[in-house]
Structure 1
Amino acid sequence: MAAADFIKKLAPGAQKVYKKYNVLASLVIAQGCLESGFGSSGLSKQANNLFGIKGTYNGKYVLMWTSEQDKKGNVTRIQAKFRKYPSYAESLADLGSLYTRLSRYKAVVGEKDYKKATAAVSKAGYATDIHYPSKLNSIIEKYNLTKYDGEIVPDVPDVPEEPSEPETPTKPTYPSKEYDGKDMPLNQHLPSDVDFPQLHVSSKDGKDVIEITGVSVDFTADPTGKKSFSFTLPRTQENATEFELLVVDNILYLDEKKYNHQKYYITNVSLHQENGVLTKTVTAAHIFSVLLINNRIEKTVSKKLGIKEALDIALKGTDFKYVIHAKAGEIPSAEQENFGEKNSIELMDEIIEDYGIELDVDNYKIHVYKKMGQVIDFVLD
């Protein structure tokens, strides 16, 4: 979306905020532009969340990856809830409400000089960027946003609303996600020979695939299908290329004992240096957890559901398919109340509990068992 079009879309809501909360419309619009990249951020697209405000809005939220940094400078990637708004108007109003609720922003409320307002926002701790006020001022001046501070329409309603097209009631359909014998393709550059526990790292575009050797993998898995592993790799002259590829969001392929070429996303990388040796501690999560947590099922169903119906709903919009390893009737149907309005991984957890099942995941194929058999190591006396 062009910057001018984006600003026009924000302006009515920002003026309503100015009228109700006495916070300059020019400031609110500029922050919306800067924080959302003029509407290009994933959060603004998925949740109409212009300012990265965490939490829930009327019970609605999206889960997004975000980086948290501790006092030692270690960066950790975590999933966090961010508010999901019906439209930009509610996101703008929420910012105005925030400024009036928190005492540290009292210098922002009622300020008529946009430069003083941007300075007050920064001084109150809204952003750590020392250039934050100048960036806001530049946007305000470039797009002449102060004109919206003087054009408050008298009959603008207090509650920001944006008209939306009425939705035509439709009966939700959930196509079958039962495994049809077709597997999702993996990286074509992976070697055909496999040997537990081979480990490869790949760039996001899949062009670079390099084997990682000399590491001990700490692997964890549970009957909910969630799998993860970690390892530590010291940098040497021989492994410099793969060492540099070990960054968050790149891909790892692990040949597990049971399944080959399992796809994992790197979720956390910690750097350490001791005695002149640089090491990376890497944590990765299986695509089952990573991809399903970002897929949200909006509609709800309240009725008795068979296991296949429940799985079809939870996996809607994903590439995952399931295989039922149970006799007919072994997994009884269950009454569901408002099943939906959550991300797919949460719904899968509900299914596991409600239907008493266990999962084993092979990339995009989910094996469903009433009870998985376990191999027990023992020594005969």
Structure 2
Amino acid sequence: MAAVDFIKKLAPGAQKVQKKYNVLASLVIAQGCLESGFGASDLSKQAYNLFGVKGTYNGKYVLMWTKEQDKHGNESRVQARFRKYPSYAESLADLGSLYTRLSRYKDVVGEKDYQKATAAVAKGGYATDINYATKLNSIIFTYKLTQYDNLDDLPEEPSEPETPTGPEYPSKEYDGIDMPLNQHLPSDVDFPQLHVSSKDGKDVIEITGVSVDFTADPTGKKSFSFTLSRTQENATEFEQLVVDNILYLDEKKYNHQKYYITNVSLHQENGMLTKTVTAAHIFSVLLINNRIEKTVSKKLGIKEALDIALKGTDFKYV
């Protein structure tokens, strides 16, 4: 497909991304062109995946060979899951959603100067190429992509009721005002998947290529562990694996919610950094480990009993 034709194909979806996520259409189009080779890459042909996003989309993925480097620049080829989208539109929207979810891209959202926007993308670590912003700027300038940043002529779309595209996992947890505490998880999460987030529940990132060792003992404590080696492609999620950050594990299978990271062991061998991570279910951390040893001999109402049981934890109830 000719470059100009490819750009025209992406433009309407990129403008919708700008309108919904406040990320410049010119930036989105340029990234689509650069990352997919103007639609020539196998990933974009097989999975409509324009931006090389790993993981699954509504449970769909394709396996592709990819190169990974250690900190010494040594390359190895590995097979990885990449999201498979039904069309380019979902791939474009997923990029816009990514920029609004991750705080390291906060300078991308709302930026009206495309050169500052591309610089922010590069600074946020989207790619390891030191010339990444320059390449994006060149595509935007060469093909006059800023013309698509003007949304004045973009027609208004009729509002339609949203319909769920997959199972509603993880389970809803309520903070007393009918608002799920897990609202920062991507809406398209379809477990089994493993995600890590900061303690405040933001910056949710999928972790791929790990095997989880899950255990549950008779006292109700549930935990799991896994080992992950650091590569250039998983650097962001690797750095998020620290004590007290949150992991979301395979809710569809285990019907569980959040797990807090309780221990992280760092190992280095032959220049490769590896973390062994242990995480405990939120119930184990907040209730069992912090249980109040107090005996009450009188009759209690529901509210009084829950106030005692949940005192000192992050749990609230309705």
- TM-score, normalising length: structure 2: 0.48
Per residue, is there more strand in 1 or in 2?
1
Q: Which has the larger radius of gyration?
A: 1
- TM-score, normalising length: structure 1: 0.41
